[in-house]
Amino acid sequence: MPEGLVGIIMGSDSDLPTMSLAAQVLEELDIRYEITIVSAHRTPQRMIQYAHSAASRGIEVIIAGAGGAAHLPGLTAANTILPVIGVPITTRSLCGIDSLYSILPMPVSRPVATMAIGEDGARNAAYLAAQILGLKYSSIQAQLIKQRALSNDVSEIAL
């Protein structure tokens, strides 16, 4: 089985511009991933099947993005014991606070690792996935250490 496959899911293709930023970070870190559109509301059985079969298909971490009454991350977390990272997508009328409050306060034993609302949240979901995988795969951790050193090497600049 390959190392550290990340499953990125979202409920609708309107979430793709945000969630593809997670994919982009994973590519930069040389981590394999797959992107799937699977809806808690339109294809619930597939969503559950996705969650149930994820581990056996080699997925180790799931990144789930959703907006509004954002049920995908929590429902996925309820159907797998893989770590699930939730990305609250920005919404028009409530700025994504609805998405955040639909993802964050999960019942005990069904956690969702919640990220910031919107694009930075999607990027950080990929970094968190890498950190989790890094515990097991030393090459991923090495990659993260290298990347961290570079990002820290921003010298203090006196303007």
Identify residues 117-156 at the interface with its own copies (CB under 8 A).
117-118, 120-121, 123-125, 127-128, 131-136, 141, 144-145, 147-148, 151-152, 154, 156
The CB-of-38 to its own copies minimum distance in angstroms stands at 5
CB 43: neighbour CB atoms within 10 A? 14
Count of CB atoms situated within 10 Å of the CB of 55: 13
For its own copies, the binding residue among 18, 54, 63, 79 (CB under 8 A) is 79
Q: With residue 60 as reference, give the H or E element that holds it.
A: strand 59-67
Cα–Cα distance measured from residue 62 to residue 52, given in angstroms and rounded to the nearest whole number = 12
Q: 16 or 32, CB closer to its own copies? A: 16
Residues 8-37 that bind its own copies (CB under 8 A): 11-13, 16, 34-37
Do 58 and 31 meet the contact criterion of CB atoms below 8 Å apart? no
Q: Quick one: which H or E segment has residue 33?
A: strand 33-37
Among 53, 69, 138, 139, binds its own copies (CB under 8 A): 69
The verdict on 92 binding its own copies (CB under 8 A) reads: yes
In whole angstroms, how close is the CB of 139 to its own copies at the nearest point? 13
